[in-house]
Amino acid sequence: MTVEITTLSNGMRVVTDRMAHLETTSLGVWVAAGARHETEAETGISHLLEHMAFKGTARRSARQIAEEIEAVGGELNAATGLEHTAYYARVLKGDEGTALDILADILLNSSYADDELEREREVILQEIAMIQDSPDEIVYDLMHDAAYPNQPAGRPIIGTPESVKRITVGDLRGFLAARYVPGQMIVSAAGAVDHDRLVRHVEALFGGLIPVNVAGDIRASYSGGTRVSSKLFEQSHLLLAFEGPSYRDPDMYTAQVFSGLFGGGMSSRLFQEVRERRGLCYSIYSSAWGLDDTGLFGVHAATGPGMMAELIDVVGKEFQEIAANGPADAEIGRSKAQLKSGLLMALESSSARAEQMARHLLIHGRLVPPSELVAAVEVVSAEGIAAFAARLVAGKPAVALVGAGKKSADLAHRAEAMART
């Protein structure tokens, strides 16, 4: 067995997968902290905290952090989500100690200097402006607001210009103390890594963290409805979503097989009907997004404003059709084959493997073996998918439409009406 897990006395977990043929290691710290743990006034604090981790510690300036990891040819990065924040590195064999030392330093000893915070606000305001230039990102934020209005799960991960300007160093330290606690943090590494040595190093760096209980999550309460942006773009973007399963829900496997055959690859129903048969768009796909207590199932497509009405009608009909009659066996077979090969392909990448192990521990409290994932996919049936689709379209959709100017609202309502049974 190449996988080992150790839990430190303070509750922090260390997981490794030694991939003997690799000359590099991917490793990182995954924290169960994200946008859904923020109060309204704190909107964007998880993401701002992630940015500020790179802005200097008691021992290293921002420049020294960057120079030290890049001097060994390594890469250091981070990402903030609704429930998790990841800080990770990829380095050559033998440099994982350097990477871990830097990761620990930026997580435990950041300075949060006032002048660095002021500059970083400006950087994030630019990042927000970049998102506002991306209709394919705006449409996700609007859909989330329709799905979870006035709740942390529905607010933008990056925050708003107002909230980003308002957050103080005290707020950052408070959020860090409340959420960056050892029971909610995983060190995960895959590649050229020695488990015992890594554990000793993690113990030395993180062993002094005191266990703290975290506040329970506010349950996400799905609502649905329509949201539009009056901005004009060349293409209009539709995101049509329904309430879907949590990643804890066995229905998530049904959702994934369904998504694959409905709007996954090139052979999926939406790709074949909307792009191949009608030439209505360049890009269309479906996805299932799981959270701790709920989830979403949605379709994203972009087309010219003059063709959006037709696209909406086709997508609505495809939902109705599959809810009424279910998929064919061949479609299910292809979708399962793609999910299974995707699992195998991810196992061959050290970075995907490190992330997968961390997420399994944070979400399920254990590593779910590939054989169990495959078995769960195998039992999904045509009847199960039809019933799943019928439950979806019996609910109220969350619809976002961006880019069609004044027509956006009418198109959003059309999508809402078309998708419902």
Residues 318-377 that bind a second copy (CB under 8 A): 330, 333-334, 337-342, 344-345, 347-350
Residues 217-256 that bind a second copy (CB under 8 A): 233-235
Q: Provide the residue type at 360 as one letter.
A: H
Q: Which residues contact 64 (CB under 8 A, 6 or more apart)?
A: none
**54-62, 205-213, 247-255, 366-374 -> range binding a second copy (CB under 8 A):** 54-62
Select the residue interacting with a second copy from 24, 43, 163, 356 (CB under 8 A): 24
Select the residue interacting with a second copy from 97, 207, 250, 279 (CB under 8 A): 279
Please state, as a whole number, how many other Cβ atoms lie within 10 Å of the Cβ of residue 410: 14
Name the β-bridge partners of 89.
27, 76
Pick the closer one to a second copy by CB: 32 or 52: 52
Task: Classify 68 as helix, strand or coil.
Answer: helix
Binding of a second copy by 63 (CB under 8 A) = yes
Select the residue interacting with a second copy from 124, 257, 288, 389 (CB under 8 A): 124
CB of 158 to a second copy, least distance (A): 10
Q: CA–CA separation, 373 vs 328, rounded Å?
A: 22
Pick the closer one to a second copy by CB: 84 or 275: 275
For residue 288, the surrounding DSSP H or E stretch is strand 284-290
Buried b / exposed e over 391-404, threshold 16 CB at 10 Å, is bbbebbbbbbbbbb
Query: In Å, what is the CA distance from 352 to each residue of 287, 371, 413?
Result: 19, 17, 39
Residues 125-184 that bind a second copy (CB under 8 A): 125-127, 129-130, 132-135
Binding of a second copy by 54 (CB under 8 A) = yes
Catalytically annotated residue among 42, 50, 96, 331: 50
Select the residue interacting with a second copy from 35, 202, 299, 302 (CB under 8 A): 302
Select the residue interacting with a second copy from 41, 109, 119, 230 (CB under 8 A): 119
**68-76, 181-189, 369-377, 412-420 -> range binding a second copy (CB under 8 A):** 68-76
Tokens 């609502």, located at residue: 223
Binding of a second copy by 304 (CB under 8 A) = yes
Select the residue interacting with a second copy from 39, 41, 59, 71 (CB under 8 A): 71
Binding of a second copy by 70 (CB under 8 A) = yes
Residues 379-408 that bind a second copy (CB under 8 A): 403
Pick the closer one to a second copy by CB: 158 or 398: 158
Binding of a second copy by 281 (CB under 8 A) = yes
Q: Which residues contact 349 (CB under 8 A, 6 or more apart)?
A: none
Residues contacting a second copy: total by CB under 8 A: 76
Active site residue 50: yes
Read out DSSP for 342-400?
HHHHHHT-HHHHHHHHHHHHHHHSSPPPHHHHHHHHHT--HHHHHHHHHHHHHS--EEE
Q: Which residues contact 169 (CB under 8 A, 6 or more apart)?
A: 112, 114, 117
Read out DSSP for 166-188?
H--HHHHHHHHHHH--GGGEEEE
Instruction: Kindly tell me the sign of the dihedral angle through the C-alpha atoms of 184, 185, 190, 195.
Output: negative
**177-185, 251-259, 280-288, 379-387 -> range binding a second copy (CB under 8 A):** 280-288
**17-25, 33-41, 355-363, 383-391 -> range binding a second copy (CB under 8 A):** 17-25
Active site residues: 50
